Structure 1
Amino acid sequence: MHWLLALFAVLAGISNPLQSGSNSALLKTTQAPIVAAFIVYTIGTLCLLACIPFLGFQLKATAAKLGDVPWWAYIGGICNALFLMCSLLITKKLGSATFTTIVVISAVITSVLLDHFGLLGFEVRPATGLRIIGAGLSVIGVVLIAVF
Structure 2
Amino acid sequence: MSNWTALLIPVAAGSLMAVQGVLNTLLNKNLGLWPATLLVHLLGLAGVGAVLIFTGTGFPTWGKISTVPWYAYLGGFINVAIIATVVLGISRLGAISATTAIIVGQVSTAALLDYLGLAGLTPKQPHWTHLAGLLLLVIGARLLLQK
Calculate the TM-score normalised by the size of structure 2. 0.91
Where in structure 2 are the equivalents of 1:1-148 lying within 5 Å? 1-2=1-2, 3-30=4-31, 32-52=32-52, 53-54=54-55, 56-59=57-60, 61=61, 63-148=62-147
Alpha-carbon shift at residue 129 of structure 1 (Å): 2.0
Cα pair 1:113 1:127 within 8 Å, conserved:
no
**Stretches of structure 1 lacking an aligned partner (at least 5 in a row):** none
Superposition misfits of 4+ residues, deviation over 6 angstroms: none
Q: Distance in 2 between matches of 1:13 and 1:75?
A: 22
Evaluate the alpha carbon distance shift between residue 55 and residue 75 of structure 1 in structure 2; reply closer, same or farther with a 3 A threshold: farther
Q: How many residues align?
A: 145
Q: Distance in 1 between matches of 2:87 and 2:94?
A: 12
**Stretches of structure 2 lacking an aligned partner (at least 5 in a row):** none
Alpha-carbon shift at residue 90 of structure 1 (Å): 2.3
Residue type at the aligned position of 2:28: L
RMSD of the TM alignment (CA)? 1.4
Calculate the TM-score normalised by the size of structure 1. 0.90
Residue type at the aligned position of 1:15: L
Matched-pair identity in %: 29
**Partner-residue secondary structure (3-state), 1:121:** coil
Alpha-carbon shift at residue 55 of structure 1 (Å): 5.2
- 1:11-70 Cα offsets, whole Å, 9 max, x none, are 11001110110011111112x2111111111111111122112151233x2x11111111
Evaluate the alpha carbon distance shift between residue 11 and residue 139 of structure 1 in structure 2; reply closer, same or farther with a 3 A threshold: same
